[in-house]
Copies of this chain bind each other. A is one copy, B any other.
Amino acid sequence: MSDERRRLLAEKTPFPDDLGDRLHAQLTFLVEIDQLKTVLRQSPLAAADRRENDAEHSWHLAMMVVILSEHSDQPIDVGHTVQLVLVHDLVEIYAGDTPLYDSAAGGDQREREVAAADELFGLLPADQARRMRLLWDEFEERRTPEARFAKAMDRFQPLLLNWMARGGTWRTPGVTADDVRARKAVIGEASASLWRAGRRLIDEGETRGWSRRATPPE
């Protein structure tokens, strides 16, 4: 990390200094995370001809948790799972999005994201900074049923968008249908029925030529 302090978004139009320290810190954080709306992902929208951003993606995952929670193999707390997906991509505001099929960028991803978490969550009062970090760690570690389901939604949602786009990022050069199946298999850790559906879409996409076959036919 550089010694130079990052210029915060809220500094563009500083708040009056009599709001109280705690609320001032909370509003500074809430303005800073407006930047999640500018972090572009690889996935194409179904509803418009442009790429999705992280805020839209996070909202969509949250709706998927609300609608699909019954498919979890283990009972989950929906309200808690929703919070996991709302928060899971915040670190990308400072660390950037790492595309699923970009193995080079994956190398120092964890290091960059931990530094981003320290800096971004550190804008909040200490108790809330700790809670944000706990939510993010829980998502990343996938040890709870809620975290496994949240992660499954994070993989299932772009799968839906790729299906709608008749390929989307499945067409990334060098990526095969087997690569897609391998990257998406984590869905099966949370839900056998959703992974069955996900595989069905990937297989059908391969049959239709929307992804590259692993071994070219003889």
Q: Report A's interface with B, CB cutoff 8 A.
A: 9-10, 12-13, 15-16, 18-20, 23, 26-27, 29-31, 33-38, 45-48, 52-53, 55-56, 58-60, 62-64, 66-68, 71, 77-80, 82-83, 86-87, 124, 128, 160-161, 163-166, 193-194, 197, 200-201, 204
Interchain CB contact (< 8 A) of A53 among B10, B18, B56: B56
User: Copies of this chain, how many?
Assistant: 2
Q: Is the CB of A46 within 8 A of B34?
A: yes
Q: Is the CB of B67 within 8 A of A59?
A: no
Least CB distance, A149 to chain B, in whole angstroms: 14
Sampled A-B contacts (17; CB under 8 Å) = A9-B46, A9-B164, A12-B164, A16-B200, A23-B193, A29-B67, A30-B60, A30-B160, A34-B60, A34-B164, A38-B45, A55-B59, A63-B87, A66-B87, A67-B124, A79-B80, A82-B83
> Which B residues touch A67, using CB under 8 A?
26, 29-30, 124, 128
Q: Is the CB of A82 within 8 A of B71?
A: no
> Which B residues touch A29, using CB under 8 A?
67
> Which B residues touch A58, using CB under 8 A?
59
Q: Which residue of B lies closest to A13 (CB)?
A: B164
Interchain CB contact (< 8 A) of A55 among B19, B31, B56, B71: B56
Least CB distance, A9 to chain B, in whole angstroms: 6
Q: Is the CB of A38 within 8 A of B34?
A: no
> Which B residues touch A38, using CB under 8 A?
45, 47-48
Known contacts A18-B200, A19-B200, A68-B26; A35 and B59 CB within 8 A of each other: no
> Which B residues touch A36, using CB under 8 A?
59
- Report the Cα distance A216→B35, complex, angstroms: 37
Least CB distance, A132 to chain B, in whole angstroms: 9
